[in-house]
Amino acid sequence: MTTSDSAYVWVWLPGQTEPVVAGRLRKDATTHSFTYGASYLAREDKLPLYFPELPLRRGVHRPDPTWEAHGCILDAAPDYWGRRVILAKHFGHLKDDSDTDDLDLLTYLLESGSDRIGALDVQESAEEYTPRTYEHQATLTDLLEAADRLQAGLPLTPALTAALLRGTSIGGARPKALLDDDGQKLIAKFSSTTDTYPVVKAEGIAMHLAAKVGLSVAAVEVVKAGDRDVLLVERFDRGPAGTREMMVSALTMLGFTPMNGRYATYPQLADLIRARFTEPDKTLRELFGRIVFNVIVGNIDDHARNHAAFWDGEMLRLTPAYDVCPQPRSVGEVEQALAIDRKGDRRSRLQVCERAAAVYHLTPREARDLIDRQVSIVQDGWGAAASLVGLDDRGRERLKGGAILNQSIFYKD
């Protein structure tokens, strides 16, 4: 655990290949305050880390005392998986009672890898930037074995610990790691020995189908590591020559925390798109298309951390879709994580989507055409997508109808 009560936030400004120090993050009672540095405020190319959350002004910025820190800082922090890797490093291995609250936020920020999502990093120094790269020679198979051992509560070798630490700054609850493949930056998402269905292949199928219906999605590929599946996701927050894209989650954009994010809704995001996004009408159609697609493929984990936007200091721009994973169910109707209409209806029904069309600047006819087109493409392309990722007959029986094109999505009042 860090013994310091403060650290420094560094940022890659748009188009820049090297970071500059933006300000100081300080532990402040139950939360963490932020203060911009005088040198940063004096820069002509300065921009707020996120606005209106952290406007460019002198003095201490304090978040709500119930928050760990400001949302844009938390977006750059390790999530459940990354925190558990750092816990294992500190205590030798995970135990049944290991809790992510056993270490503080500064420890997680200062010990996670520097190649984190977006364009922020956290350092002990305000003068010299030293990236935490955690160099290693581990293969995909090695990384998968390390993830299995960590989840089983077994100790790791120093080399495998370093390999997993590099990917600790990537969000999410499932095991994952970062890879560089001839200059291409990838996120490797692993299957787990506790999976009850082919999670990796299911996500690969959904992402391929999402591209087929015309949505903007991250490029993915399902590969094998030994006899296990791995989903490789191309990173979209990195530009040429070491530049980085600033990003914020929908959780941050809407002013929620992980504790109260369940109150976030798609109409709230639609209102924000109208007010603060570039090309709002085009973006609203894209958002509506993603909602419909989530319903069609049975992705009910569409919470606010699984939506994000690029931030250029003035305006927002929706990122490609990510973390679109069908979840089979034996029960009938389910609900989306975010409400679809202004009345709070979150039922996973295409009828609910169609009725909410006006929220997304679509006519009922435009919404119906979009829905019908997506259903047709998924019905016709499902088999090819399943073959592309090598899904066997048993997996197809579980996924088709159990998650993708579940009969309940066609229910009507």
Does 138 have pLDDT greater than 90? no
262 and 287 in a single domain? The answer is yes
Q: Is residue 110 part of a domain?
A: yes
Comparing 135 with 306, the larger pLDDT belongs to: 306
Q: Which range, 132-141, 172-181, 344-353, is most confident? A: 344-353
Cα–Cα distance, 412 to 409 (Å, whole number)? 9
Judge if 183 and 84 occupy the same domain: no
Same domain, 385 and 329: yes
Q: Residue 189: CB partners within 8 Å, gap ≥ 6?
A: 172, 174, 175, 176, 200, 203, 230, 231, 232, 233
| Nearest Cα residue to 166 out of 129, 117, 123, 132 | 132
Residues 276 and 397 in one domain: yes
The yes-or-no verdict on residue 356 having pLDDT over 80 is yes
Sorted by sequence, the CB contacts under 8 Å of residue 240 that are 6+ apart come out as none
Confidence of residue 129 (pLDDT cuts 50, 70, 90): very high
pLDDT in tens, 160-182: 888 888 888 787 778 898 888 87
Same domain, 279 and 406: yes
Is 183 part of any domain? yes
Asked whether residue 193 is domain-assigned, the answer is yes
Mean pLDDT in residue range 319-337: 92
In this model, does residue 327 exceed pLDDT 60?
yes
> What's 155's domain CATH number?
3.30.200.120
Query: Quick one: residue 279, left, alpha or beta (phi over 0 = left, psi -120 to 50 = alpha)?
Result: left
At which of 203, 234, 265 does a domain end?
234
The whole-angstrom separation of Cα 268 and Cα 271 is 5
CA-to-CA distance for 278 and 313, rounded, in angstroms? 12
- CA gap 19, 368 in Å, rounded: 47
Mean pLDDT of 51-78: 95
pLDDT of the residue at 131: 94
pLDDT value, residue 96: 78
**135 inside domain:** no
| Domain membership flag for residue 366 | yes
| Tokens, residue 316 | 């927002």
Could you read off the pLDDT of 254-292 as tens digits, one per residue?
Answer: 999 878 888 999 999 999 999 999 999 999 999 999 999
If asked whether residues 53 and 188 sit together in one domain, one would say no
Whether residues 90 and 154 fall in one domain: no
Q: Based on the domain organization, do 17 and 119 belong to the same domain?
A: yes
Whether residues 153 and 117 fall in one domain: no
- List residues bridging with 186 in a β-sheet: 179, 234
Same domain, 307 and 274: yes
How many domains does the structure of the chain reveal? 3
Short-list 293, 281, 270, 284, CA closest to 211:
293
pLDDT band at 2 (very low <50, low <70, confident <90, very high): low
Give the pLDDT of residue 74: 95
Residue 157 lies in a domain: yes
Residue 229 lies in a domain: yes
Q: Which of 339, 342, 294 lies closest to 321 in space, CA to CA?
A: 294
* Phi, psi angle pair for 241, to nearest 5°: 60, 30
Q: What is the pLDDT of residue 1?
A: 55
Q: Write out the two tokens for 103.
A: 């270490």
Which pair of tokens denotes residue 83?
Answer: 């925190």
Whether residues 159 and 54 share a domain: the answer is no
Mean pLDDT of 39-61: 97
CATH number (domain holding residue 324)? 1.10.1070
Residue-number span of the structural domain to which 178 is assigned: 140-234
- Domain membership of residue 225 (yes or no) is yes
- The separation between CA 256 and the C-alpha centre of its own chain, rounded to angstroms, equals 15
Segment (H or E) for 34:
strand 31-36
Q: For residue range 31-42, list pLDDT tens digits in order.
A: 999 999 999 999
pTM tops 0.85, yes or no: yes
Distance CA 407, CA 365 (A): 22
3 state SS of 126: coil
The secondary structure of 337-394 as a DSSP string is SSB-STT---B--HHHHHHTGGGGT--HHHHHHHHHHHHHHHHHHHHHHHHHTT--HH
Q: Pinpoint the alpha helices (H) of 140-276.
A: 140-151, 158-165, 199-212, 250-253, 266-276
Beta-bridge mates of residue 24? 8, 35
Query: Which one of 176, 210, 234 terminates a domain?
Result: 234
Last residue of a domain, one of 89, 123, 157: 123
- In the three-class reduction of DSSP (H, G, I as helix; E, B as strand; rest coil), residue 252 is classed as helix
Judge contact between 169 and 83, C-beta under 8 A: no
**DSSP-H helix ranges across 220-297:** 250-253, 266-276, 280-297
What's the token pair of residue 23?
Answer: 């300000």
Judge if 271 and 297 occupy the same domain. yes
Is the dihedral angle over the CA atoms 393, 395, 398, 399 positive or is it negative?
negative
Instruction: Indicate the pLDDT class of residue 3, thresholds 50, 70 and 90.
Output: low
- Place 54 in a pLDDT band, splitting at 50, 70 and 90: very high
Q: What is the pLDDT of residues 171-218, one digit of tens each?
A: 777 889 888 887 789 999 998 878 889 999 999 999 999 999 999 999
Distance CA 116, CA 67 (A): 21
Go through the chain and tell me how many residues it has.
413
